[in-house]
Chain A
Amino acid sequence: MTKEEFGAVLDRAGLKLSDAQKTELFSVYPLLQAMVARAHPEMPREAEMSIMFNAEVK
């Protein structure tokens, strides 16, 4: 993601950040993306998901 695309994502989220704030956040964005990559399991597509819906509401 380029800095401009990054800024556009934040704008689209409705956050009113200054250019300085966007620049700082963009500088650490790769660290978050590294975490996202680590948190992406090597599971087959059909693996049971962890977010379950139970029709019998407690």
Chain B
Amino acid sequence: MTGFLTIAEAASQIAAKKLSPVELTKTCLDRVKTLDSKLNSFLLVTEERAMADAKAAEARMMSGSLKGKLDGIPIGHKDIYNTAGIRTTAHSKLLENNVPTEDSVVVQKWADAGTVLMGKLATHEFAIGGPSFDLPWPPARNPWNPDHFTAGSSSGTGAAVAAGLVLGGTGSDTGGSIRGPSALCGLAGIKPTYGLCSRRGVLPLSNTLDHTGPMTWTVEDCALMLQAMAGHDPLDPGSANRPVADMTAGLGKGVKGLRIGVIRHFYEEDNPVSPATRKGIEGAIDFFRKSGAEVVDVKVSPMMDYNAAGWVILSAEAYTIHEPWFKTRFNDYGELMRDRLALAATLSASDYVQATRRRRELCLEMKAAMADLDLIITASAPGEAPKITEVPKWLMLQKPNFTMAFNVTGLPALSVCSGYGEGGLPVSLQIVGKPFQEATVFQAGHAYETAHDWRSKRPALAA
């Protein structure tokens, strides 16, 4: 097998018995062996497990008993997802030898769907401390240019999917950790509605902001992967007890008749983006208008208001989770994780409660802004990936990011590649939906993506 396949393409070929899951898995393993010394996207390659999974999928293919479109698809899990019998470290010295006894719910769901587990993928330490050079493993690097940052915290998934080492993988998103790496690595990545996917068995960062979700090369693949991970989990207190929609229902339907709002002030005033990012967003707006959508401008509170409420809540909740280790093993954390969260020791109970009240105001504001809309468009990152050595330690306090607003409000938000910048690295935009309307988000994202040529180009290092 040569070239790169999307999940949808591979699934179609496997269903037609034209592609062997074993050969597909061997191709991915070969890519890992060839490329990952430059990318550091894997913390652990589970080659034996991958081959066993692939052989089982191949047997189902031959007997006509495939489980569905994910059967035989090589994937990886961010290393905060518990995997039974397989080391799960959170990229931290504190869990260097941690071997869970149970799979997280999402890991189990993807395994039940027949996926091939290739291994565990790099993350920022406990999904917040990175890019760090003082941990037991190095940080993942961007396949579009390994001197550059992947963004985080789902850094390994971003690098591995972009380079074709896996066809899809899990991320988690507390303030943008799926959409940030998806943006900088040129992927499709969705943070679903809060409560759509279980977080049970995933090492937490901030319980009221944490989301699990997929990262893939295309929007269609993202819909397929989300379908297999969504659903009510009575043992996750944040889980929504409601039926799961057909995530692919809108694919191919275009955007005619959809009403789309644009939050321009986020990317023009609150945190001005690069010319290439702006060009990509304006191009998308033009595309949606010409395709029959109604596009209007929307104004909400400054992006920093959303970031402020989000960061205070995130810091307080994360500090609570890590407090026992902070008191006993403070210097076993990497510098970035340790210092970023230590500041939270200065927060008061009132600071936290007031931030949750402000969050409610912001949720109501966004709900009102979307009342007559189907979708919102804005940026998902300021521009191309910076050099990995030039990422400011305190960036989250200095400039608002484009993603936190939708963790605070819990709305589904998809990052989609919208072209390439002057440095040849991807730029992106963000498509946001109403609660549990992921199918509409995918509908618009797929219409945009398939009308543009961005998916035909892979990182030169991988090609």
Q: Select the stretch in B292-300, B349-357, B374-382, B422-430 that faces chain A.
A: B349-357
- Partner of B304 from A38, A47, A51 at Cβ < 8 Å: A38
Which residues of chain B are near A15, meaning CB under 8 Å?
Answer: 326-327, 330, 342, 345
Is B327 touching A39 in the complex (CB atoms < 8 A)? no
Taking a contact as CB atoms closer than 8 A, the residue among A16, A29, A39 that contacts B343 in the complex is A29
CA distance A43 to B311 in the complex (A): 20
Q: Is the interface of B mostly helix, strand, loop or mixed?
A: helix
- Nearest residue (CB) in A for B241 is A58
Contact count A vs B, C-beta below 8 Å: 90
Partner of A31, one of B305, B345, B394: B394
Give Cα A25–Cα B343 distance, bound, in whole angstroms: 7
What bracket does the count of chain B residues touching chain A fall in? 20 to 34
Q: Tell whether, in the assembled complex, residue B358 and residue A41 are in contact, meaning their CB atoms are under 8 Å apart.
A: yes
Q: In the bound complex, do residue B345 and residue A10 qualify as a contact, i.e. CB atoms below 8 Å apart?
A: yes
B residues whose Cβ falls under 8 Å from a Cβ of A: 234, 237, 304-305, 307-309, 311-312, 315, 326-327, 330-331, 339, 342-343, 345-347, 351, 353-361, 394, 397-398
Which residues of the other chain, A, contact B309 by a CB distance below 8 angstroms?
A: 38-39
Interface size on A, residues (CB 8 A): 30
**What CA separation (Å) do A14 and B304 show in the bound complex?**
31
Where the two chains meet, the residues of A that have a C-beta atom closer than 8 Å to any C-beta of B are 1, 6, 9-10, 13-17, 21, 24-25, 28-29, 31-32, 34-41, 43, 47, 49-51, 58
Q: How far is the CA of A34 from the CA of B398 in the complex (A)?
A: 10
Whether the Cβ atoms of A13 and B345 lie closer than 8 Å is yes
Instruction: Point out the residues of chain B lying under 8 angstroms from A51, CB to CB.
Output: 353, 356
**B343 touching A28, Cβ below 8 Å:** yes
Q: Say how far A1's CB is from chain B's closest CB, in angstroms.
A: 8
Q: A8: shortest Cβ distance to chain B, in Å?
A: 11
A47 to chain B, nearest CB (A): 7
Query: Within the complex, what minimum Cβ distance (angstroms) separates A25 from chain B?
Result: 6
- Establish whether residues B356 and A25, one from each chain, have CB atoms under 8 Å apart when the complex forms: no
